[in-house]
Amino acid sequence: MTRMQPARRWRENWLVSGEGKILKILMKAGFVYDPIYLKHDTGQHVENAGRLEAISSLLEETGLTQQLTPIKPRAASVDELSLVHDEQHISHVFDVAQRGGGWLDADTVMSVDSYEVALYAAGGVITATEAVMSGEVASAFALVRPPGHHATSRRAMGFCLFNNVAVATEYALAKCNLERIAIIDFDVHHGNGTQESFYDNPQVLYTSTHESPFYPGTGYVEETGSGVAKGTTVNIPLPAGCGDNEYLQVFEQIVSPAVRRFKPQLILVSAGYDPHWVDGLAMMQVTTTGFAQMVRVIKRLADEFCRGRIVICLEGGYHLQALAYSVKATFDVLLGNTSIEDPLGQSPRRFQTLGVDPLLNRIREIHALP
């Protein structure tokens, strides 16, 4: 009788068994969703419940939901929000909801239920983190709203009430015995709130690709963190018009080496799909296929350093079809499905390939990246 040979890894998602059989690794991916997220009523606002309805209908229609593990969100506690936000801000959002809602700034509106929904948005990312850290799933995507990455410790802004990804990151540091977490933010806007939350925290690496100059006006290459955390904020401000090639170049040449050097134990992603070429809020040229390529790079990094642990948190993305297909493509990558449906394809506008080499060289120099 021959001795059983151990399985060995062959390509990313496959194993070769001792007998030479090629086995697909079952990669359980979870999703957080709850109809409560539709109750944050913003009226005619571009950030509205239709976004999550479009995503959930497409996942349902295409049968993807059956391939995923549902995770039920809970509300974040005020103590958990306080890991990031000061009490005055939390009670202000509570008070505005009690009064029936209203505008918190020129862009950010809330309804009577929005405080509760926002607790569930932050809680949803915490629940996704718990599911990944307990090993129930390898990765999880929290399909939540309101989004979070602009919310600072003291104020709501840019459609965001509480900073979901920052709250979950602080939670994971405090409760899951983690020492190093990377946050990768590919929303087209700079996540000023997330940057601020961890600017002096050496346990968190924050990388952001965003259009610049653009809202909210932060995220310059010189913003690199402070004190002992110098170097753990990596900003990649890109000129309008960048597409899949430029983003992939950034992910290969800046994000990957920065993450490799940091060796995170968990990766959180602020996934905003507003760099899509059809999205009306910005001027980037990314396609659904391009988002899949970025998520593939992130997944490779997570496989390398974090036992595959990824928690993705929905941020922006305002063209319903582009958003839904790009979220689906993200799940396909998490599941190891190789074919990506991209019905919108490439932008019909022909942008010249932008040279981002001088910018990337400068960022590499500032951060002493290989």
* Residue 367 near Zn ion by CB under 5 A: no
Which CB atom, from 80 or from 315, has the smaller least distance to Zn ion?
315
Which CB atom, from 165 or from 172, has the smaller least distance to Zn ion?
165
The catalytic residue among 40, 85, 149, 150 is: 150
Residue in 310, 316, 324, 342 binding Zn ion, rule: CB under 5 A: 316
CA 218 to chain centre: 18
Q: Which positions from 156 through 175 interact with Zn ion, judged by CB under 5 A?
A: none
* Residue 237 near Zn ion by CB under 5 A: no
- Find the shortest distance in angstroms from Cβ 74 to Zn ion: 26
Which CB atom, from 80 or from 223, has the smaller least distance to Zn ion?
223
Contacts of 155 (CB under 8 A, 6+ apart): 89, 104, 105
Which residue's entry shows tokens 């059809």? Answer: 278
* Residue 308 near Zn ion by CB under 5 A: no
* Residue 317 near Zn ion by CB under 5 A: no
- Find the shortest distance in angstroms from Cβ 335 to Zn ion: 25
- Find the shortest distance in angstroms from Cβ 236 to Zn ion: 15
Which span sits near Zn ion by CB under 5 A: 24-32, 269-277, 288-296, 351-359? 269-277
Which span sits near Zn ion by CB under 5 A: 124-132, 216-224, 264-272, 294-302? 264-272
Count of residues that bind Zn ion according to CB under 5 A: 5
- Find the shortest distance in angstroms from Cβ 137 to Zn ion: 26
* Residue 189 near Zn ion by CB under 5 A: yes
Give the whole-angstrom CA distance, residue 19 versus residue 200.
51
Which span sits near Zn ion by CB under 5 A: 52-60, 134-142, 188-196, 217-225? 188-196
- Find the shortest distance in angstroms from Cβ 58 to Zn ion: 20
Three-state secondary structure string covering the chain: CCCCCCCEEECCCEEECCCCCEEECCCCEEEECCHHHHHCCCCCCCCCCHHHHHHHHHHHHCCHHHHCEEECCCCCCHHHHCCCCCHHHHHHHHHHHHCCEEECCCCCEEECCHHHHHHHHHHHHHHHHHHHHCCCCCEEEECCCCCCCCCCCCCCECCECCCHHHHHHHHHHHHCCCCCEEEEECCCCCCHHHHHHHCCCCCEEEEEEEECCCCCCCCCCCCCCCHHHCCCEEEEEECCCCEHHHHHHHHHHHHHHHHHHHCCCEEEEEECCCCECCCCCCCCEECHHHHHHHHHHHHHHHHHHCCCCEEEEECCCCCHHHHHHHHHHHHHHHHCCCCCCCCCCCCCCCCCCCCCHHHHHHHHHHCCCC
* Residue 187 near Zn ion by CB under 5 A: yes
Find out whether 313 and 129 touch, Cβ atoms under 8 Å: no
* Residue 274 near Zn ion by CB under 5 A: yes
Which CB atom, from 202 or from 241, has the smaller least distance to Zn ion?
241
- Find the shortest distance in angstroms from Cβ 313 to Zn ion: 13
In the bound complex, which residue of the shown chain has the CB atom lying closest to Zn ion? 316
Task: List residues bridging with 327 in a β-sheet.
Answer: none
Which CB atom, from 125 or from 173, has the smaller least distance to Zn ion?
125
* Residue 123 near Zn ion by CB under 5 A: no
* Residue 47 near Zn ion by CB under 5 A: no
367 is catalytic: no
- Find the shortest distance in angstroms from Cβ 63 to Zn ion: 29
Which span sits near Zn ion by CB under 5 A: 33-41, 181-189, 227-235, 243-251? 181-189
Which span sits near Zn ion by CB under 5 A: 60-68, 272-280, 286-294, 295-303? 272-280
Give the whole-angstrom CA distance, residue 311 versus residue 137.
10
Chain residues that interact with Zn ion, rule: CB under 5 A: 187, 189, 272, 274, 316
Task: Cite the active site residues.
Answer: 150
